[in-house]
Amino acid sequence: MIFRKLKKSRINQDQQNEKQQDLLTSDLDQNLQVLRSLYKDCLDVVFRPFLIGGLIKAELIYIEGLSNVLEMDTHVLSPLMRETKGEQSNLTEWVEEKVSVSNVKEARTFADCIEHISIGNPVLLVERESRGLALGLAQWEKRSIEEPTSESVVKGPREGFTEALGVNTSLLRRRLRSPQLKMKSVKIGRYTQTQMVIAYMEGIADKTLIEEVMNRMQRIEIDGILDSGYIEEMMEDFPFSPFPQIMSTERPDTSVASLLEGRVVILVDGSPFALIAPTTLFSFLQSSEDYYQRFVLSSAIRWLRYLFVVLSLLLPSIYVAVLSYHQEMVPTKLILSMAASREAVPFPALVEALIMEITFEALREAGVRLPKQIGAAVSIVGALVIGQAAIQAGLVSAPMVMVVALTGIASFTIPRYNFGASIRLLRFPMILLAGTLGLLGVMLGLLVILTHLCTLRSFGVPYLSPMAPMKEQDMKDVLVRAPWWALNTRPHLTGKYNQYRQEPYQKPDPKKGGETD
């Protein structure tokens, strides 16, 4: 019975798709009959009949709430209903001349009509004409440009992407005013028909990289795309890896910087997150603010960030391993103090660490999901109250609470949320290895992670590049951030590339004045 229903549904869908691919005819009533059948039970779809010059039948089809009705009345209906047609042979061309709309496109099939109507462009059908006119009068509510919440900076631009694709492309175009910025459009989603834009810099990005991105996107066949996360998950080289292989960002400046390095930026209609490919491990540990501050401060903060990433992954596991198997590594006074604090705790260090880590992750998730007005208060108060109550009840020790708190703070220093989530996920198997094998288990886990990182690729680019394989020329922006006058070359990603990004010998020298070597 179920298979019969599925087969019948599939047959109806195929018939509907075939109907959409049919060409428009010169019979207006027949065209309207097909469109009305396709939009059956669609309350928001409006069919507005009128007469051109009081003689010729026409129909304007649009979706209420997606089209600018005021502009439609002023620049379409009013001039056409008042004008009288002369001796022009082509009625559609005459109508196109009379309509004072800048963006007018032809629609020759029912699929074209549906596409334009769905994005808010009204379609005008005229009697005895086998083609319609799609009028660029789309208008819908959209969020204004705001500061990105997930990538806040102290010094730098405050603009962030929105859910409107046109706004996002304009933010890129406003920063990159060169015609070498190319944008290709792709539509994915059987029902959503989500429009996507692949942006790249011609002459900088490798052509094979652009072709590979296009091929991977065109292979996607799915009912709908609601966010860029769908595309990210379906384009990765290693889908079962815990590490992200495509970087997402809300910041236009980060996207433009990636374009100038030869990467590809993917914008998805309805999503405020742009995807950047290819990417490397070190890209996830770099903040856009690193390039807006003086290089000495940026390099120091970057080293601090690297240190806390290591602590976020290893601190709980090292604590469990040392406390369970390697007490001789701890100074005598410190181990006596830790033993005294754990005297009333009934659980071993492994169970204690797992309890505290799971509780901390639950509090973090609760703080994210709760309304903003109470989310931060609940997470902070909850951590303080639960931690203090757990210590007084003898369920956990004070050193363990401190270790978990330091680990949580360390995880907050990671600039990219998805990479930080990967580190948080790997923390649990590392704790289990430390609780069963001690420091040997920690080293074993690190070797497995490093081996996996060495095998990862992001669109053919090694994940640990430029450190493995070593590229000395690209190391200027990895462990430290070299000054801008020393960053003469772009990172080498794949294939041929435009190597030089600026003229050499631009180091400031007051003695030379405006002269250069």
**pLDDT tens digit string along 401-458?**
889 889 988 998 999 999 999 999 999 999 999 999 999 999 999 999 999 999 999 9
CA dihedral 31, 33, 38, 43 (to 10 degrees): 120
Q: Do residues 74 and 186 both lie within one domain? A: no
Structural domain that includes position 127: 13-135
Contact 246, 234 (CB under 8 A): no
Do 310 and 437 lie in a common domain? Answer: yes
Same domain, 234 and 306: no
Report yes or no on 156 lying in a domain. Answer: no
Q: Which amino acid is at 36?
A: R
**Distance, CA of 451 to CA of 102 (rounded, Å):** 57
CA 27, CA 429: separation in Å to the nearest integer? Answer: 68
Which tokens hold the place of 198?
A: 């692949």
Within a domain: 240: yes
Same domain? 247 vs 322: no
Whether the CB-CB separation of 416 and 302 falls below 8 Å is answered with no
The domain total for the chain is 3
Whether 124 and 236 share a structural domain: no
**Boundary of a domain, candidates 418, 440, 462:** 462
pLDDT at 317: 95
Distance (Å, whole) CA 479 – CA 306: 9
- Could you give the 3-state DSSP secondary structure of residue 150? coil
Query: pLDDT at position 3, please?
Result: 43
Q: Which residue, chain included where needed, has tokens 């400031």?
A: 508
- In whole angstroms, what is the distance from residue 227 CA to residue 414 CA? 23
Report pLDDT for 363: 81
* Domain shared by 430 and 309, yes or no: yes
266 in any annotated domain: yes
All residues at 6 or more sequence positions from 351 whose CB lies less than 8 Å from its CB, including other chains? none
CB within 8 A of 418, min separation 6: which ones? Answer: 244, 248, 284
Q: How remote is the C-alpha of 162 from its chain's centroid?
A: 11
Q: What is the DSSP letter of 252?
A: H
* pLDDT the model gives residue 378: 66
Cα-atom radius of gyration of the chain, to the nearest Å?
A: 30
Task: Judge contact between 254 and 246, C-beta under 8 A.
Answer: no
Q: Which amino acid is at 100?
A: S
> 41 and 171 share a domain?
no
Cβ-contact 396, 356 below 8 angstroms: yes
* Residue 480 domain flag: no
From 314, 313, 304, select the one nearest 480 (Cα to Cα).
304
Determine contact, residues 188/222, Cβ cutoff 8 Å.
Answer: yes
Contacts of 97 (CB under 8 A, 6+ apart): none
CB 143: neighbour CB atoms within 10 A? 11
Kind plus residue range of the DSSP H or E element containing 425: helix 417-437
For residue 16, what pLDDT is reported?
57
Longest distance between any two alpha carbons in the chain, whole Å:
105
Q: Which long-range contacts (CB under 8 A, 24 or more apart) does 381-390 make?
A: 386/359, 390/356
Residues of the chain with pLDDT below 70 are 1-21, 84-89, 372-384, 494-497, 512-517
Helix locations, 261-397, DSSP H: 295-325, 332-341, 349-369, 372-393
Q: Are residues 375 and 309 in the same domain?
A: yes
Does any domain span residue 4?
no
Q: DSSP 3-state helix, strand, coil percentages of the chain (rounded to 5)?
A: 50, 15, 35
Distances (CA, A) of 311 to 62, 202, 308, 398, 436: 57, 41, 5, 19, 20
Residue 480 and residue 467 in contact, taking contact as beta carbons nearer than 8 Å: no
| Domain boundary, last residue among 250, 279, 308 | 279
| Same domain flag for 112 and 254 | no
Same domain, 422 and 344: yes
Within a domain: 504:
no
CB atoms within 10 A of CB 56: 18
Three-state DSSP state, 230: helix
In a domain, 268, yes or no: yes
Which residues make Cβ contacts (< 8 Å) with residue 133, sequence separation at least 6?
92, 95, 96, 99, 104, 105, 106, 107, 123, 124
Q: How far apart are CA 350 and CA 198, in angstroms?
A: 47
- Encoding tokens for residue 132? 């319609």
| DSSP structural state of residue 473 | G
pLDDT at residue 181, as a whole number: 95
174 and 271 inside one domain: yes
Could you tell me where the DSSP H helices lie in 49-201? 69-72, 78-82, 91-98, 110-118, 165-175
In this structure, the answer to whether residues 31 and 62 fall within a common structural domain is yes
What is the DSSP code (8-state) at residue 232?
Answer: H
CA dihedral 374, 380, 383, 387 (to 10 degrees): -130
Hey, CA dihedral for 174, 178, 179, 185, is it positive or negative?
negative
| Alpha carbon distance 425, 500 (integer Å) | 39
Judged on CB neighbours under 10 Å (0-12, 13-18, 19+), 65 is exposed
Counting DSSP H helices and E strands in the chain, the numbers are 17, 12
Distance CA 36, CA 41 (A): 9
Q: Within a domain: residue 33?
A: yes
